[in-house]
Amino acid sequence: MGLKKGTAIVLVSGGMDSCLCAAIASKKFNLAFLHVSYGQRTQKRELKAFNDIAEFYGVKSKLVVDISHLKQIGGSSLTDKRIEIKKAKLKSSGIPNTYVPFRNANILAIAVSWAEVISAEKIFIGAMEEDSSGYPDCKAEFFKSFNEMISKGTKPGSKINVVTPLISFNKKQVVENSIKLNAPIHLSWSCYTETQIACGECDSCALRLRGFQLAGVNDPLRYKKNPNYV
Amino acid sequence: MGLKKGTAIVLVSGGMDSCLCAAIASKKFNLAFLHVSYGQRTQKRELKAFNDIAEFYGVKSKLVVDISHLKQIGGSSLTDKRIEIKKAKLKSSGIPNTYVPFRNANILAIAVSWAEVISAEKIFIGAMEEDSSGYPDCKAEFFKSFNEMISKGTKPGSKINVVTPLISFNKKQVVENSIKLNAPIHLSWSCYTETQIACGECDSCALRLRGFQLAGVNDPLRYKKNPNYV
């Protein structure tokens, strides 16, 4: 593997994409893991996945941040129990109500603050433009613009950069690359609603299962229902 | 005053600058006030100022957010020997060690999330380039870049913009404009150390008092000491 050059902060939600991101970052960088909870229904389960993946990679530099003020702001079914999480309609257009407005900007701003303190150079985020349900803050041009903003708002010479290795991937490619890089996807968690056995029916489960089905691989997680999404 | 066109979120710390910002925004917009606390010593007194100024302008849409995770990030540097060295460098280059890296980006990201939910168009922040001790995220070019990033990361048609009416002001001009616009500066609070009668000697009191002295106006607040700073 050669000498690792510097430190990369990886945003590890606990899902499959961030798990692959960690695998990719681990090839070239010393890892620091950032987990952000925001009062989402499954936050304890996601934190467990975060810690399990950190243990897998031997990551000691961990930061867990609560931004439940996003819950206070509301506007999303992930954080507002009054809004029902819709069952997956993968082909429907428009922005789903699970969207937390400007969430990635909030999370990345925290990551940049931390990066300045620990002198990290890179911030890895597993955003995917295709599978992002149209969230504006998951698009390549958003991250490009965010990087320009970082260069203006941090100390000269900081050179902190957001890196999006999965930006053009689909979930099938996430599965394929995770297997190729031995990413511990069996430790990851994707379900929006359940914390023991995944539901198999929420948007997040549907996207994940379709990825495995298209890759012709069995998901190591257990599901209550396992519909055919292909 | 004519018809107010839309809603503006004003970042109201409770200090004199944000008080003037509220006065400026009130001329053209319906107001929503955002207050961010981060574990600072005088946070209860600042929150009182926030509420008093909100009452003065009849603002009902208020959001108070705690981001003490920024303290968590800063605090972690105290336990990391590698970073302590850097802190010494920071001090010598003129940026005080109270500086929270990328703080304005964090605060503005919260404001944008809220703006999307309540359909606000503008976010007013009382940043002043001259009095900002060289913080990179207080400079005009940072805010310009932040606005470009907002346009990429929010729903099409959101049109949310950060506005910095005081960016080229000094504290003398803040005092003069506050009086001109009848901003309730008697309700604002600036002191870093006291919560009943301002000390008159901390950095924040000194900047404020110098502003009043240069403008030839008496500060309506009471001070324990009132040195001549001109």
Domain boundaries, chain B: 6-170
Instruction: With a cut of 70, say whether residue B19 has pLDDT above it.
Output: yes
The tens digit of pLDDT for each residue in A187-214 reads: 999 999 999 999 999 988 999 999 999 9
Note whether B133 and B98 are within 8 A (CB).
Answer: no
Taking the alpha carbons of A179, A182, A184, A189 in that order, is the dihedral positive or negative?
negative
For the question of an ipTM over 0.90, the answer is no
| Contact by Cβ (8 Å): B155, A100 | no
pLDDT digits (tens, 9 = 90+) for A146-194: 999 999 999 888 899 999 999 999 999 999 999 999 999 999 999 999 9
Give the per-residue pLDDT at A92.
44
Predicted pLDDT at A93: 43
Q: Which residue has the higher pLDDT, A135 or B128?
A: B128
Testing the interface with B: which of A72, A76, A106, A117 to mutate, by most B Cβ within 10 A?
A117
Record: contact B109-A106, CB cut-off 8 A: yes
> Residue A99 pLDDT > 90, yes or no?
no
Closest CA in chain B for residue A104: B153
Q: Of A127-131, B1-5, B73-77, where does mean pLDDT reach its minimum?
A: B73-77
Each residue of B134-173: pLDDT tens digit? 788 999 999 999 999 999 999 888 899 999 999 999 999 9
pLDDT in tens, B32-41: 999 998 777 7
* Three-state SS at A9: strand
Which residues of chain B neighbour A102 with C-beta distances below 8 Å? 109, 112-113, 116, 150, 153-154
The predicted pLDDT at position B38 comes to: 78
Q: What pLDDT is stored for residue A86 in this prediction?
A: 45
Name the region of A27 (left: φ>0; alpha: ψ -120 to 50; beta: rest).
alpha
Asked if pLDDT for residue A88 goes beyond 60, the answer is no
Percentage of residues in chain B having pLDDT higher than 90: 69
pLDDT value at residue A81: 46
pLDDT of A95 higher than 80: no
User: What is the strand order of the sheet B29-37 is part of?
Assistant: B61-66, B29-37, B6-11, B122-124, B161-163
Interface touch B69/A69, C-beta < 8 Å? no
Query: Which band of pLDDT confidence, cut at 50, 70 and 90, is reported for residue B132?
Result: low
Interface contact B41, partner A, CB < 8 A: no
* Mean pLDDT along residues A21-47: 92
With cut-offs at 50, 70 and 90, classify the pLDDT of residue A47: very high
Full-prediction pTM beyond 0.90?
no
Chain A hits for B97, CB-CB cut-off 8 Å, are none
Q: Which residue of A has its CA nearest to B140?
A: A152
Using CB atoms, pick whichever of B95, B113, B146 lies closest to residue A149: B146
Which of B:71-100 have CB within 8 Å of A? 72-74, 76-77, 80, 82-83, 86, 95, 100
- CA-CA distance, B186 to A50, in Å (whole number)? 49
For residue A109, list chain B residues with Cβ-Cβ distance below 8 A. Answer: 102, 105-106, 109
Which has more pLDDT, B61 or A92? B61
Q: Is B145 on the interface with A (CB under 8 A)?
A: yes
Average pLDDT, integer, range A102-131: 93
pLDDT of residue A187: 98
B93 confidence band (pLDDT: 50, 70, 90): very low
For residue A94, the chain B residue with the least C-alpha distance is B155
Q: What are the E-state strand segments in chain A? A: 6-11, 29-37, 61-66, 122-124, 161-163
pLDDT above 90 (res A97): no
The yes or no reply on domain A6-172 and CATH 3.40.50.620 is yes
Q: Which residue from B minimizes the CA distance to A34?
A: B73
CATH homologous superfamily of B6-170 equals: HUPs (3.40.50.620)
Is residue B13 pLDDT above 50, yes or no? yes
Tell me which residue in B73, B117, B145 faces A75 most closely, judged by beta carbons: B117
Q: At what angle do helices A103-118 and B140-153 cross, to 10 degrees?
A: 140
Instruction: Report the pLDDT value the prediction gives residue B70, as an integer from 0 to 100.
Output: 73
CB B37 within 8 A of CB B47: yes
